[in-house]
Amino acid sequence: MKIIVRDAPPRHVWALEKAGIHPLLAQLYAARGVLDPSELDAALIHLLPPTTMKGTAEAARMLADAIAADKKLCIVADYDCDGATACAVAVRGLRLLGAKHVDYIVPDRVQDGYGLTPPISTRVKASGADVLITVDNGIASFEGVAAARALGLQVLVTDHHLCASIDSVVALPDADVIVNPNQPGCSFESKSIAGVGVMFYVLLALRVELRARGAFAARADTVAGSLPTNTRPPEPKLDTLLPLVALGTVADVVRLDANNRRLVAQGLKRVRALAMPAGIASLFVASSRDAAVATTFDFGFALGPRINAAGRLSDMTLGIECLLTDDPNRALELAKTLDNINRERREIEGNMREQALLVAESLFEDAAEAPPAICVFDADFHEGVVGIVASRLKDKLHRPAFVFAPSGATGHGHELKGSGRSIPGFHLRDALDLVAKRHPGVLLRFGGHAMAAGCTIAEEHFETFEQALAQVAQEWLSAATLQRRLDTDGPLKPEYRRVDLVDALHHEVWGQGFAAPTFSEEVEVVSQRLVGEKHLSLKLKHRGEPVDGIWFSHTEPLPARVKLAFRLDADSWRGERKVRFLVEAAETP
CATH code, domain with 89: 3.90.1640.30
Q: Would you say 196 and 86 are in contact if contact means Cβ atoms under 8 Å apart?
A: yes
Check pLDDT > 50 for residue 303.
yes
**Coil, helix or strand at residue 407:** strand
pLDDT of residue 357 exceeding 60, the answer is: yes
- Note whether 460 and 506 are same-domain residues: no
Within 10 angstroms of residue 525's Cβ, the number of other Cβ atoms is: 19
Assigned domain for 322 exists: no
Do residues 442 and 542 share a domain? Answer: no
Among residues 373, 134, 589, 571, the alpha carbon closest in space to that of 580 is found at: 571
| pLDDT of res. 385 | 92
Of 82-86, 369-373, 491-495, 524-528, the one with minimum mean pLDDT is 369-373
Could you tell me the CATH number of the domain that includes residue 535? 2.40.50.460
Of the three residues 191, 207, 238, the one that is the final residue of a domain is: 238
Full residue range of the structural domain in which residue 564 is found = 486-589
Per-residue confidence (pLDDT) for residue 366, from 0 to 100: 62
Asked whether 328 and 276 are in contact (CB, 8 A), the reply is no
**In terms of Cα–Cα distance, which of 434, 457, 433 is closest to 444?**
457
Instruction: Give the separation between CA 456 and CA 447, rounded to whole angstroms.
Output: 10
Final residue of a structural domain among 218, 238, 258: 238
Closest C-alpha to 270, from 291, 301, 290, 248 = 291
How high is the mean pLDDT of the chain? 93
Same domain, 533 and 447: no
Residue 129 domain flag: yes
Mark whether 534 and 387 lie in a shared domain.
no
Q: Assess if residue 75 is contained within a domain.
A: yes
Looking at 193, 215, 238, the residue that finishes a domain is 238
Do residues 201 and 85 both lie within one domain? yes
Distance CA 158, CA 27 (A): 38
Structure-model confidence comparison of residues 548 and 228, the more confident one? 548
Contact 139, 173 (CB under 8 A): yes
pLDDT for the residue 533: 86
Task: State how many domains the chain has.
Answer: 3
Tens-digit pLDDT profile for residues 125-162:
999 999 999 999 999 999 999 999 999 999 999 999 98
- The 10s digit of each residue's pLDDT in 191-235 is 999 999 999 999 999 999 999 999 998 754 444 555 555 678 999
Summarised one tens digit per residue, pLDDT across range 555-585 is: 999 999 999 999 999 988 888 899 999 999 9
177 in the same domain as 52: yes
Q: Is the pLDDT of residue 412 over 60?
A: no
pLDDT at 411: 41
Q: How confident is the model at residue 410 (pLDDT cuts 50, 70, 90)?
A: very low
Q: Are 587 and 2 in contact (CB under 8 A)?
A: yes
The per-residue pLDDT for 408 is 60
Residues in CB range of 60: below 8 A, 6 or more apart: 202, 205, 206, 208, 209
What confidence tier does 380 reach under pLDDT thresholds 50, 70, 90?
Answer: very high
pLDDT > 90: what percent of the chain?
84
Q: For 434-459, what is each residue's pLDDT tens digit?
A: 999 999 999 998 988 888 999 999 99
Contact call for residues 261 and 268 (beta carbons, < 8 A): no
Contact between residue 492 and residue 542 where contact means Cβ atoms under 8 Å apart: yes
Residue 110 and residue 225 in one domain: yes
564 in a structural domain? yes
One domain for residues 513 and 459: no
Average pLDDT over residues 414-418: 92
For residues 178 and 115, membership in a common domain is answered with yes
- Domain membership of residue 292 (yes or no) is no
Q: How far apart are CA 497 and CA 248, in angstroms?
A: 32
- Give the per-residue pLDDT at 304: 97
- Within a domain: residue 259? no
Mean pLDDT on 485-495: 96
- Residue 69 shares a structural domain with residue 200: yes
Query: What percent of the chain stands above pLDDT 70?
Result: 96
Residues 5, 568, 397, 446, Cα dihedral to 10°: -100
Same domain, yes or no: 386 and 501: no
408 and 538 inside one domain: no
Task: Assign 325 a pLDDT band (cuts: 50, 70, 90).
Answer: very high
Residue 388 sits in a domain of what CATH number?
3.10.310.30
Structural domain includes residue 67: yes
The confidence score (pLDDT) of residue 226 equals: 54
Residue 21 lies in a domain: no
What is the pLDDT, as a whole number, of residue 239? Answer: 97
